[in-house]
Amino acid sequence: MLGQLQAQFMENWKALSESAANGAMPQIKDRRFKSDAWKESPAHLMMAHMYLLSSDAMKQMVKAAAVPEEVKEQLGFSVSQWVDAMSPANFLATNPEAQKLLLETGGQSLHSGIQNFMNDLAKGRITQTDESKFAVGENLAITPGSIVYRNEYFELIQYKPQTQQVYQRPLLMVPPCINKYYILDLQPGNSLIEYIVSQGFTVFVTSWRNPLPEDTDGIEKATWDDYVEDGVLNAIDLVREISGQPKINVLGFCVGGTMLSTALAVAASRRQSRVASLTLLATMLDFCDTGTLGVFANESHAKIRESQIGQGGLMTGRELSTTFSFLRPNELVWNYVVSNYLKGETPMPFDLLYWNSDSTNLPGPFFSWYFRHTYLENRLREPKALTVCGQPVDLGKIKVPAFVQASKEDHIVPWKTAYVSSQLLTGDVRFVLGASGHIAGVINPVSKNRRSYWTNDAHDNSVEPDQWFDSASEHPGSWWPEYAKWLAEQSGKLVPAPVEQGSESSPVLEPAPGSYVKVRAV
């Protein structure tokens, strides 16, 4: 196999050399080399071709390596990281576009780039958007509402009705505590919360606390059980009490969906029926294929984390953010190295990327439990294999109607994994597949009329994923109206919208978005 790869490489190299000698090198489609400066410089264009040819050969060698699949995945990830980092576009000495700009601006682009680099060095992260254009509570997370409860884990937001009548049964959203909740409430017109409220639903959201190293109340020792019991289950009971409804609808996003499903399994083991329906967005319950993140799921990594923070301490948001960025390094790392530092440009304002930079710390014991029992051992899918809050966890006991959404290009929660996860639920499941990735596939506003989604009325989620997709129907635009229609069927009759928020035992504490969401990780 190695000999074949070497022969193919030499053949490609010969063809490239002949093209260069004839002055007719093929154009490159790779966006890193798309500018005219590369096309106008035969030497740089040749360098780009050599780089692409060599990087492809290295990746082919990894695929051909006679090693276990787990080792091959880790080797492939490492080689890919190295290859992406060594792109000639990433260095001033080998980037003709940056060199041309340097001459055209009389050195100002380099001066601005160095300044951008020093500013990012002080922040400890790469700037991906013009952060001066955003502020939480001013132009982000501004759907009107109130904080009606606060404990050491979360603040509960109740949103103000936007219609004269609302559906009787409210919806509680549980976002991931690994990020800030306002990914669900970005700018007006780009907010899932705003849309759901506008459709006549009473919406509550858990805004998770961002623990800091200087906190002294023991939050750094919080466990998965703590977040399930005093976080999710507590929030469910609060919404039931405030709304006066014995059962509510609940929605979980990403890790929030994993936490929420665990909580419902705990409640089921206690013979408590608290919810009428479950919605999961980009959520894994069966961690059979964890995508690119799977390269980190090994025993040595788990033991290191457990020894470092398993009994107390923080998994920092900065480290988590860096890890996620390097899952797509060309888009989220090297793209900004080139534009910010080599060209001295200021990134365009983009609300989603501002949220991406607003990371959250996690208690070490919580993270260590989650990493071992899901990513590493995949125990959550096994009935009664785990005990949470003193109860055996069996996801099969979650028998309520469920709406499960996944995104076709999601590299964090592969859509087939989300699909297989939905098979652990025993209620009536409606599976919907959105276009795009982990965030853009979820945050796809109706007003923009972009992308598409797939549904399948011929098959439920009991068939294989490929069989489901092959016979699915594609629909243009956002999947949000599809969800609003389904949610209305789970929400009872329409009643007059409440005038006040909160209740006597859960009074309004302050306006949304509250205090917790404004705490920034350092």
The residues, ordered by sequence, that sit 6+ positions from 479 with a Cβ below 8 Å of its Cβ are: 405, 432, 434, 444, 453
Asked if 146 and 158 count as a contact pair (C-beta separation under 8 A), the reply is: yes
* Dihedral angle computed from the Cα positions of residues 208, 214, 216 and 222, in that order, rounded to the nearest 10 degrees: 40
* Residue 231 confidence (pLDDT): 98
- In degrees and rounded to multiples of 5, residue 413 shows phi and psi of -120, 85
Kind plus residue range of the DSSP H or E element containing 493: none
Determine, yes or no, domain membership for 462: yes
**In angstroms, rounded to a whole number, what is the distance separating the alpha carbons of residues 303 and 71?**
18
- Which of 93, 108, 131 is where one domain is finished? 93
Instruction: Please give the structure tokens belonging to residue 414.
Output: 């592969």
**In angstroms, rounded to a whole number, what is the distance separating the alpha carbons of residues 377 and 394?**
16
Instruction: Please give the structure tokens belonging to residue 221.
Output: 């020792």
Three-state SS at 207: strand
Determine, yes or no, domain membership for 130: no
Asked if 315 and 309 count as a contact pair (C-beta separation under 8 A), the reply is: yes
* Residue 224 confidence (pLDDT): 98
The residues, ordered by sequence, that sit 6+ positions from 235 with a Cβ below 8 Å of its Cβ are: 149, 154, 156, 172, 174, 204, 206
Q: Check whether residue 398 and residue 491 sit in a common domain.
A: yes
Q: Check whether residue 279 and residue 398 sit in a common domain.
A: yes
- Which of 93, 111, 134 is where one domain is finished? 93
| 3-class secondary structure per residue, 427-452 | CCEEEEEECCCCCCCCCCCHHHCCCE
Instruction: Please give the structure tokens belonging to residue 192.
Output: 């899932």
Q: Is 124 left (phi over 0), alpha (psi -120 to 50) or beta?
A: left
Q: Check whether residue 237 and residue 379 sit in a common domain.
A: yes
Q: Check whether residue 154 and residue 80 sit in a common domain.
A: no
Q: Check whether residue 87 and residue 174 sit in a common domain.
A: no
Residue segments in the chain with a per-residue pLDDT below the cut of 50: none
- In degrees and rounded to multiples of 5, residue 88 shows phi and psi of -60, -20
- Which of 93, 118, 153 is where one domain is finished? 93
- In degrees and rounded to multiples of 5, residue 503 shows phi and psi of -150, 180
Taking each helix axis from N to C end, the angle separating 108-123 and 96-104, rounded to the nearest 10 degrees, works out to 120
Determine, yes or no, domain membership for 62: yes
Three-state SS at 244: coil
DSSP 138-180: TTBS-S-EEEEEE-SSEEEEEEPP-SSEEESS-EEEE--TTS-
* Residue 4 confidence (pLDDT): 82
Alpha helices in 222-350 (DSSP H): 224-226, 234-243, 255-269, 299-309, 317-325, 329, 335-336
Instruction: Please give the structure tokens belonging to residue 292.
Output: 């690119």
* Residue 296 confidence (pLDDT): 84
Q: What is the pLDDT of residues 312-325, one digit of tens each?
A: 999 999 898 888 88
Q: Check whether residue 183 and residue 271 sit in a common domain.
A: yes
Determine, yes or no, domain membership for 63: yes
**In angstroms, rounded to a whole number, what is the distance separating the alpha carbons of residues 23 and 257?**
56
Instruction: Please give the structure tokens belonging to residue 115.
Output: 């300044």
The residues, ordered by sequence, that sit 6+ positions from 139 with a Cβ below 8 Å of its Cβ are: 133, 187
Range of the domain at 45: 2-93
Query: Total domain count for the chain?
Result: 2
* Residue 325 confidence (pLDDT): 87
Instruction: Please give the structure tokens belonging to residue 175.
Output: 């976002």
Q: Which of 509, 179, 220 is nearest to 358 (CA)?
A: 179
Looking up residue 497, the CATH number of its domain turns out to be 3.40.50.1820
Q: List Cα–Cα distances, 77 to 59, 84, 408, 434, 484, in angstroms.
A: 10, 11, 21, 26, 39
The catalytic residue positions are 254
Q: Check whether residue 177 and residue 42 sit in a common domain.
A: no
* Residue 210 confidence (pLDDT): 97
Q: Check whether residue 71 and residue 166 sit in a common domain.
A: no
Determine, yes or no, domain membership for 73: yes
Determine, yes or no, domain membership for 387: yes
Q: Check whether residue 68 and residue 159 sit in a common domain.
A: no
Determine, yes or no, domain membership for 138: no
Q: Check whether residue 480 and residue 408 sit in a common domain.
A: yes
* Residue 37 confidence (pLDDT): 94
Q: Check whether residue 151 and residue 59 sit in a common domain.
A: no
Determine, yes or no, domain membership for 322: no
* Residue 222 confidence (pLDDT): 98
Q: Check whether residue 218 and residue 305 sit in a common domain.
A: yes
